[in-house]
Amino acid sequence: MESLSPNSSVNEMALRQLDLAADSIDLDPNLRARLRKPDHALIVSVPVRMDDESVHVFTGYRVQHNDVLGPFKGGIRYYPDLNLGEVSALAMWMTWKCSLAGLPFGGAKGGIACDPKQLSRKEIQGMTRRYTAELLNFIGPQIDIPAPDMGTNEQVMAWIMDTYSQHKGYAVPGIVTGKPVAIGGTLGRKEATGRGVVYALEQAVDSLGLDLQKCSVLIQGFGNVGSVTGRELARLGVSVVGVSDRSGGIYNPRGLPVEAVARFKEQNNKLLEFPEGEKIGGKEFLELPCDILIPSASEMQITQENAGKLKCRIIAEGANGPTTPEADKILADMGVLVIPDILANAGGVIVSYFEWVQDLQNFFWTEDEINKQLKEMMTRSFRSVLEASRKERASLRLAALMIAIQRVGRAMLLRGLYA
């Protein structure tokens, strides 16, 4: 098992972002020192009896970064290369994301180092339930509320809810968000992150005086976030010219039939076999010409090596941490507007908040109400970041981080230090 020191290139990137923003707002050095480290970092062994009767021990994580604004909140990721450093960075970004959106949550993240595509349904369920059992003393509707992330879905959330509830002796729907509607989930949660990206894009193109319907879009990563974003943009009449996944990408400068592509991906799990469009390798995909690039895959996809080769006007970060600080500088010099992750993909946690509130009240909203509130909150957040960006002459990322960290820092000062 790895060291408790959460070192990784992704975590170092998150810390550098914190330092840049802290310098810009002259953050109290004592607060900076506290914010650089998570409140809690848990590593657990997750033994699972596999279908062949062997026992495999997976490694699970839960990092709780800061709860000064409210209960910890963050997704659970099933991913082969998951490590403590990555989870620590994602937990920190969740703190900033919740703060920026004005939610009464702190940041957390968790997951298991595994490849769910290589596991049966029975194995995933057994692994999920054992992982949940290891976290029983660390999660709860007023403590830490998990949600889906890469490699997990509403079924995984249902198993977590059931395991937690069985131990408590009664149903606790508020323990997770992103669960099925039939057991306390909310309408619109599955589509929330993708819809939020579109709402942020509408504000961004308007701020630049562009027409969204005349823009061409590339989407890297065609999972839940990327596919929903693509479908929503296509319904608005926007031309999605390229999409990609782990198998590669497909590209058509005249536009792709997004609904057909999404159905093909759901049925076949590989975009590269889609019969229409030019086949494009993973590295070359990001460098295709477009007006809007939406990286919705994983961290550190846009780097110092490829940033200067991009041919887009706007980047909307559907994924967490897809752009490195070095790439940010290059993109700024090129005049590319980057809508940062903690702003662009906040739709998921915003609607998770709505779900949590509904569960606590046992009163549920219509999908129209959900989408109306989501759009209002995304629009308000974007405009506040844009205003701060112009006032401070800073990028949208730096402005968003400054707002988020100032709010967290102010709350920490008000609550004081218990020592």
Annotated active-site positions, please?
109
Cα(234)–Cα(218) distance, rounded to whole angstroms? Answer: 12
- Looking at residue 323, the DSSP 8-state letter turns out to be B
Q: How many angstroms separate the Cα of 230 from the Cα of each of 124, 217, 235, 372?
A: 29, 9, 9, 20
Question: Do the Cβ atoms of 20 and 401 come closer than 8 Å?
Answer: yes
Extract the tokens encoding 108.
């957390």
Say which residues have a Cβ less than 8 Å from residue 343's Cβ, sequence separation at least 6: 100, 200, 381, 382, 385, 396, 400
HSE value, Cβ hemisphere, 13 Å, CA-based, for 93: 31
Longest dimension (CA), the chain: 63
The DSSP-derived string for 270-289 is: -GGG-SSSEEE-HHHHTTSB
Cα(261)–Cα(104) distance, rounded to whole angstroms? Answer: 38
Cα(236)–Cα(109) distance, rounded to whole angstroms? Answer: 33
| Other CB atoms within 10 A of residue 387 CB | 12
Extract the tokens encoding 158.
């249902």
- β-strand partners of 260: none
∠ CA 380-19-309, rounded to 5°: 75
Using a 10 angstrom Cβ sphere, with 0-12 exposed, 13-18 middle and 19 or more buried, the burial of residue 134 is middle
Distance separating the N- and C-terminal Cα atoms of the chain: 31
Q: Give, for 147, the enclosing helix (H) or strand (E).
A: strand 144-148
Assign 228 to helix, strand or coil.
Answer: helix
Extract the tokens encoding 167.
């131990």
HSE value, Cβ hemisphere, 13 Å, CA-based, for 309: 12
Extract the tokens encoding 35.
């914010």
Extract the tokens encoding 218.
């590339």
